[in-house]
Structure 1
Amino acid sequence: MSAPTELPDVDPWIVDVLARLPGAQVVPYPSWGSQTFQVGGKHFGRIGEHPSGARIVTVKGDPDVNAALVGRHAAISPGYYADKRRWISIEIDDEALPRAVAVEAIETAYRLVRESLPKRVQAALG
């Protein structure tokens, strides 16, 4: 199976969120057909497409919080092509989902991964 030739665009609102997170970067990941979000070289999220055709952001999270979000919002499902407990996928074009929920999920994913980095790497991020 060959990788898609075009990678999904990162929505301006997501770019704005990432710009507020020290050291956060968008890194193309052609073999996954996605753009990943990374801090300190570690993935905390990615934007891509679900087999249904929906555009999704898949982010890392706390398993209990993830379960609650999946139960509360139809636009959030266990992580597509990821650990179903630690990752969730968010349909970003679903207008029924408040944008703030997606923003908080991205920020939480960043925080979880940043906190797992070695202290010297965290310090270098500012």
Structure 2
Amino acid sequence: MSRDLVNEMSAAQPGAEWSDPWGGGHDCWKVGGKIFALVGAQGKHVSVKTDSVETAAFLIETGVAERAPYLHRSWVALPLDSAPDELAHRIRMSYRMVRASLPKKVQATLSGS
């Protein structure tokens, strides 16, 4: 799995927008102004939101992910060389949770489901 493929998966989410808010080569993917996926400047992991601190802890304990630095405990960092289906699933789930948390008016302005 490469950074390019993670960016491709993230870009495919309806209403996804890319930015580099801190400069230095970060790939920050947002929906409605909120982050759902983040690849740091060093590009070894993609950080995504999980549904709970417990899910994040489980993924960390089982070796699927690491703690995502600088983010809430419900976020995890998956290595870019993780199984492609795992990465795709986690990016989609993170996107869906973040999108669902947006105000209904903002959600209505976004394309796709």
TM-score (normalizing by structure 1): 0.74
What is the alpha-carbon distance in structure 2 between the residues aligned to residue 20 and residue 36 of structure 1?
14
Report the 3-state secondary structure (helix = DSSP H, G, I; strand = E; otherwise coil) of the residue aligned with 1:43: strand
Q: CA distance change for structure 1 residues 32 and 67 in 2, over 3 Å: closer, same or farther? A: farther
Q: Name the counterpart of 1:64.
A: 54
The Cα shift of 1:11 comes to: 2.7
Q: Tell whether the 8 Å contact from 2:55 to 2:74 is kept in structure 1 after alignment.
A: no
Q: CA distance change for structure 1 residues 32 and 69 in 2, over 3 Å: closer, same or farther? A: farther
Give structure 1 regions of 4+ aligned residues with deviation exceeding 4 angstroms.
none
Q: Tell whether the 8 Å contact from 2:7 to 2:27 is kept in structure 1 after alignment.
A: no
What is the alpha-carbon distance in structure 2 between the residues aligned to residue 54 and residue 124 of structure 1?
31
User: What's the C-alpha RMSD, in Å, of the aligned pairs?
Assistant: 2.1
Percent sequence identity over aligned pairs = 31
Q: 1:21 aligns with which of 13, 25, 31?
A: 13
1:28-65 alpha-carbon deviations (Å, 9 max, x no partner): 1234752211000111121015xxx6611111112222
The Cα shift of 1:70 comes to: 1.3
Could you tell me which amino acid in structure 2 is paired with residue 91 of structure 1?
A: P
The Cα shift of 1:22 comes to: 0.7
Task: Point out where structure 1 has 5 or more consecutive residues left out of the alignment.
Answer: 1-9
Task: Point out where structure 2 has 5 or more consecutive residues left out of the alignment.
Answer: none
| Bigger relative contact order, structure 1 or 2 (CA pairs below 8 A, ≥6 apart) | 2
Q: Tell whether the 8 Å contact from 2:66 to 2:78 is kept in structure 1 after alignment.
A: yes
Report the 3-state secondary structure (helix = DSSP H, G, I; strand = E; otherwise coil) of the residue aligned with 1:29: coil
Q: How many residue pairs are counted as aligned between the two chains?
A: 109
TM-score (normalizing by structure 2): 0.82
